[in-house]
Structure formats: structure tokens, C-alpha cells
Amino acid sequence: MFAGFADSSPGRRGIASTGPGGLAWSTVRLVIARCSVDYAGRLSAHLPSATRLILVKADGSVSIHADDRAYKPLNWMSPPCVLKEDDGVWTVVNKAGEKLIITLEEVQHDSSHELGVDPGLIKDGVEAHLQELLADRMEVLGAGWSLIRREYPTAIGPVDILCRDSDGATVAVEIKRRGEIDGVEQLTRYLELLNRDPLLAPVKGVFAAQEIKPQARVLATDRGIGCVVLDYDELRGIDDDKLKLF
């Protein structure tokens, strides 16, 4: 049978199956059991009998954990996959036909929990906040620089900041926490589109980040794009001597 189940015990909710394409889990299931685990795929692996935590997450993944190794599981199957239960044997099969076979000897705990939507990790100094701070302090890019608009729209998405330098030239600024080659490529595409607008052209580019990788700096320089190293504390007004334009 598929691993969808209905349990009338307090605090338990059913897990819904989508059929042969995989499982759409409405809950996270936690099972603590003495079990052995066998993996059959590109290689074979065996975990001998021991008490372990089996975690079936809402994304359909199945992982087996010991009481060590921090967050890293002993073995796992990433979604999409199908989980079947049959007389104490769980068989997890992914789209490549690889199998994770969990033989349950003694189940000590079996519960499911609906966690709801996670808002995600909120980091201090993320790109949106850097954009907001820089837009409020355009003078750090140079005397006489002025903001035209944040999130200036293009056909492939908004450029973070569109502004003018002290000579009145249009400048597109792309902001990242960590500046890598893909960010330079993104800004290059924006510049190609913006320079087709006769009301804006010519448009120069500035790639701004808290850290810029050497390869990204080389590529930006080769394409005539300026690089700015952003200091978060300085943007918040704590320090006035750390942002440099190269």
C-alpha cells in the first residue's frame, strides 16, 4: 500500500498520496524505530540494525538519522519518490528506480505533524535591505549621484536601482550579498535592454555587493561595469570610510 494513512489518535493527521508520480505529504512524519536499511542503486549500502529516527518530510523526502552527525542523515531519498509500506518494510523508490528499503523491527514512536508554511530565514543585510539603504544614500557612489527609481522594470525583470551620476548619465546598479559571475551576467542582460531605450541610453552599469569574487570582478571590468564593495555598517551610518568604488 502507499504510505498514505489515517490515524484517529490525537495529534495525528493523514498523509495524502498523489499516486504513482509520488506523494504529496500534508504533514511531516517522525518515526523512531529499531531498523535496518538497504540502498540499491548506483551502488549498494547497508545499515545494520539499530535504533534510528526516520523522517518523512512534507516535500516527500525520506531520511534516516542517527543520534550524531548533526543534521546530516545516514541515508536518504530525495523527492520526487514513492513510499510504500508493507508488513513492516518500507520501500522508497525514486524516478531513477533507485530503492531505499527500511526494515522495521520495533517501532517506538510514530507521529505526524503539520508545520504549515515556513517564512524562511530572515538575514540581516539581505539584498532588499542593502538596496533600500543604498537608495537612501546615493552619495556613497559619488558626489552628485541621484536616484531615479528602485526596482526599475525591464522585460526580463527589475534592475535593483536606476540612478544618475554627477554628469547626468544613467547608471543601472545590481546589488548582491555575494557578487559572483551570474550577477554580472544578470546586470549585462539588463544593460542590453536599457540601452535600447533612447530616453535612457547610454546606460552604464555598477555591480554592488558586500563581497565580490575575483572572477566576477574580472568579468565586470572586461565589460566596462564598475564594482562597488558595500559595507553594511557604513550604509547604516555607523562608519563613513569603508565603501569604495573601483
Q: How far is CA 202 from the centre of its chain?
A: 35
pLDDT digits (tens, 9 = 90+) for 160-185: 999 999 999 999 999 998 899 999 99
Residue 101 is part of a domain; what is its CATH number?
A: 2.70.180.20
Residues 104 and 139 reside in one and the same domain? no
Q: Do the Cβ atoms of 27 and 112 come closer than 8 Å?
A: yes
The whole-chain average pLDDT of the chain stands at: 83
Share in percent of the chain as helix, strand, coil (round to 5): 15, 40, 40
Q: Which domain holds residue 231?
A: 127-245
Both 140 and 215 in one domain: the answer is yes
Q: Which residues contact 223 (CB under 8 A, 6 or more apart)?
A: 184, 188, 205
pLDDT tens-place string over residues 78-119 = 888 899 999 999 999 998 999 999 999 999 999 999 887 665
Whether residues 190 and 152 fall in one domain: yes
Q: Closest Cα to residue 214, out of 173, 181, 165?
A: 181
CA distance 26 to 149: 42
pLDDT number for residue 117? 67
Tell me if 212 is assigned to some domain.
Answer: yes
pTM metric for this prediction = 0.49
Predicted confidence at residue 26, as pLDDT, reads 62
The reply to whether 10 falls in a domain is no
Q: How does pLDDT run across 21-53, given as a tens digit for each residue?
A: 333 446 899 999 999 999 998 888 999 999 999
